[in-house]
Amino acid sequence: MPLVSTGDLVAHAAAERAAVAAFNIITLEHAEAVVAGAEATGSPVVLQISENAVKYRHGRVLPLARAAAAAAEAAAVPVGLHLDHVKSRDLLHRAADAGFGSVMYDAAHLPYEENLAATRAAAAWAHANGLWIEAELGEVGGKDGAPALDAHAPGARTDPDEARRFVEASGVDALAVAVGSTHAMTTRTASLDHDLLARLAAGLDVPLVLHGSSGLPDEELAAAVAGGITKVNIGTALNLAMTDAIRAYLTAHPSAVDSRKYLSEGRAAMVRTAAELITALRAGVSAEAVRL
Ligand code: G3H
Ligand code: ZN
């Protein structure tokens, strides 16, 4: 199946009041596992590579992007390729040539006017180069090891009126909203501000994106989808699954040497996690249908 555009996957999900899962990948095993998990559920999926994952590869974007694109092309389900949490303009400008169909430009750490100016320029570039673009307003905490933001800290939640103005003035195709999730959580104990999510969904014409989704239990993921989230970003959950499985294998086999032995355990654990989380998102579609 050819690589498809994230924008098309999100538009399709929005039309069905569903959500597409977007998983952050770091290694080829992540990409293979996400594709296999999506195939197991018969769902489309997005493979995301973050700026931090590019930094891990010493700034080289092509090795993992090309591997992910090849995994996508071999998939039995539609797969999008997305460049995530980009702050560097240089990296943004390499996105199209590297095979990405979409990008998330992250200037959420900047004051409103600066975020808007930088995002507007990024959106103009993205559209001129055929890319779908997501940006963030309000700030989802926990990025780069930073602590979770206090719910009442300025910018820790997305203001609906400001978000409407931001989307209109920047021209972005989707908006990542801060509604209570936090990046890099290793427990699934977060809960969302559903009232705020409802106001954002009612007031905005673009798809809403949830970041930091690893910290949400299944019911909250389903409720997020029922409440209008159409792209759900998940990263840490894969790393937890992979690392736990590898640790267990190496503990049980202390003299293991062949890296395929433990990497295959890690990859299989990520397949299960990806499939389980995609299934949890689908429950949100049924909940909405029942409510209607
Ligand atoms: O953009 C990536 C996601 O927000 C991942 O967050 O690692 O907390 O699941 P997570
Ligand atoms: Zn994120």
Tens digit of each residue's pLDDT (9 = 90 or more) over 248-275: 999 999 999 999 999 999 999 999 999 9
**3-state SS, residue 135:** strand
Which residue has the CA at smallest separation from atom 6 of ligand 1? 212
Span 76-94, mean pLDDT? 98
Span 191-200, mean pLDDT? 97
* CA–centroid distance, residue 50 to ligand 1 (Å): 10
Provide the residue type at 162 as one letter: E
Q: For residue 139, what pLDDT is reported?
A: 86
**Is residue 287 very low, low, confident or very high in pLDDT (cuts 50, 70, 90)?**
low
pTM over 0.85? The answer is: yes
Token code pair at residue 93: 């400008």
For 148-181, what is each residue's pLDDT tens digit? 878 777 778 999 999 999 999 999 999 999 999 9
Alpha helices, H only, the chain: 6-15, 28-41, 51-56, 62-73, 89-92, 112-128, 160-170, 194-203, 218-226, 236-252, 259-291
Cα-based torsion angle of the residue sequence 70, 102, 63, 267 in order, rounded to the nearest 10 degrees: -60
84 counts as catalytic: yes
For 101-113, what is each residue's pLDDT tens digit? 999 999 999 999 9
* CA–centroid distance, residue 226 to ligand 1 (Å): 20
Which residue has the CA at smallest separation from atom 2 of ligand 1? 233
Task: List all residues 6 or more positions away from 152 whose beta carbon is below 8 Å from its beta carbon.
Answer: none
Residue 57 has pLDDT above 90, yes or no: yes
What is the overall mean pLDDT for the chain? 95
Ligand 1 is surrounded, with C-beta below 6 A, by 24, 84-85, 183-185, 211-215, 233-237
Token code pair at residue 280: 């949890």
Q: For residue 144, what pLDDT is reported?
A: 87
Q: CA of 149: how far to CAs of 86, 152, 179, 212, 286, in Å?
A: 20, 8, 11, 12, 32
For the chain, give the percent of residues with pLDDT over 90. Answer: 91
Closest atom of ligand 1 to 211 CA is 4
**Is residue 292 very low, low, confident or very high in pLDDT (cuts 50, 70, 90)?**
very low
User: Which residue has tokens 């429950």?
Assistant: 283
Task: List all residues 6 or more positions away from 7 whose beta carbon is below 8 Å from its beta carbon.
Answer: 101, 102, 132, 173
Closest atom of ligand 1 to 104 CA is 1
Provide the residue type at 289 as one letter: A
Q: For residue 222, what pLDDT is reported?
A: 98
